[in-house]
């Protein structure tokens, strides 16, 4: 536990040691707020539905930007070998990096709270879907992070890690879209729908917490973190 906390603390602090973290947070909040508010007054309803509808696509680019450096930078700077010789277990390193990035992403998302205040000041929205959507947003973000963290472990080039992460996450999003479901055999539709990251987010966003959605997100997170640990073990063996 001590090793995990040490890695978590180091990685979380590293985000704020450079101005890029503040730029990231600012750009994310400004862009997401602008995209939301430009339709908010047109629709004329006190709802955050349009805000959450753009989040899977916002995360598609912003989350890989968080994870692309987590392993790639270690390899490029030559600190990977030193890290792996320390008396820490592989899963402690992976979990430390994952939870550090998750806390950073959570902080960024929670800083959007002025939008909630604005919505409640202008109307009387249902709090259930808003709470459910924020929960779904954090779960979806955690799944994106797990994918990006694993991809980052495969290369020392941050740009390549960024691009491949976008491609993989995009595939996991679009697999449940209508344009894909209409082009596959009917017996595969339930499977493809279940595999979609955004479909489960939409389900939770309705304010109903279904155990199937929770199992799905935790399974995706666990699967890619497991692959990350195995990748480290393979690297040590080589």
pLDDT by 10s per residue, the chain, length 238: 777 888 898 888 888 887 888 999 999 999 998 888 777 666 556 678 888 888 999 999 999 999 988 877 777 666 666 666 666 788 888 999 999 999 999 999 999 988 888 888 877 777 778 888 899 999 999 999 999 999 998 888 889 999 999 999 999 999 878 788 888 888 888 888 888 888 888 888 777 778 888 999 999 999 999 999 998 877 654 4
Nearest to 93 by CA among 154, 7, 1, 13: 7
Domain count across the chain: 1
Domain that holds residue 44: 2-237
* Tokens representing residue 146 in the block: 């797990």
Q: Do the beta carbons of residue 66 and residue 146 sit within 8 Å?
A: no
Task: Tell me the whole-structure pTM to 2 decimals.
Answer: 0.90
């Amino acid at each position: 536990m001590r090793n995990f906390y040490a890695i978590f603390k180091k990685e979380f602090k590293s985000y704020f040691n450079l101005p890029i973290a503040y730029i990231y947070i600012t750009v994310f909040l400004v862009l997401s707020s602008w995209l939301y508010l430009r339709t908010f007054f047109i629709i004329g309803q006190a709802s955050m539905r349009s805000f959450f509808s753009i989040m899977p696509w916002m995360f598609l680019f912003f989350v890989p930007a968080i994870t692309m450096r987590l392993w790639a930078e270690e390899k490029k700077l030559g600190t990977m070998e030193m890290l792996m010789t320390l008396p820490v277990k592989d899963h402690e390193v992976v979990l430390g990096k994952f939870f550090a990035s998750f806390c950073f992403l959570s902080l960024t998302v929670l800083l959007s709270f002025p939008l909630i205040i604005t919505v409640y000041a202008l109307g009387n929205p249902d709090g259930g879907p808003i709470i459910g959507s924020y929960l779904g947003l954090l779960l979806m973000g955690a799944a994106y992070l797990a994918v990006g963290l694993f991809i980052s472990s495969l290369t020392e080039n941050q740009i390549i890690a960024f691009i491949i992460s976008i491609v993989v996450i995009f595939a996991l999003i679009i697999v449940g879209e209508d344009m894909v479901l209409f082009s596959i055999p009917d017996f595969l539709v339930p499977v493809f729908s279940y595999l979609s990251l955004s479909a489960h987010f939409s389900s939770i966003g309705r304010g109903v917490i279904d155990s199937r959605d929770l199992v799905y997100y935790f399974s995706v997170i666990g699967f890619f973190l497991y692959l990350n640990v195995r990748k480290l073990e393979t690297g040590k063996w080589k």
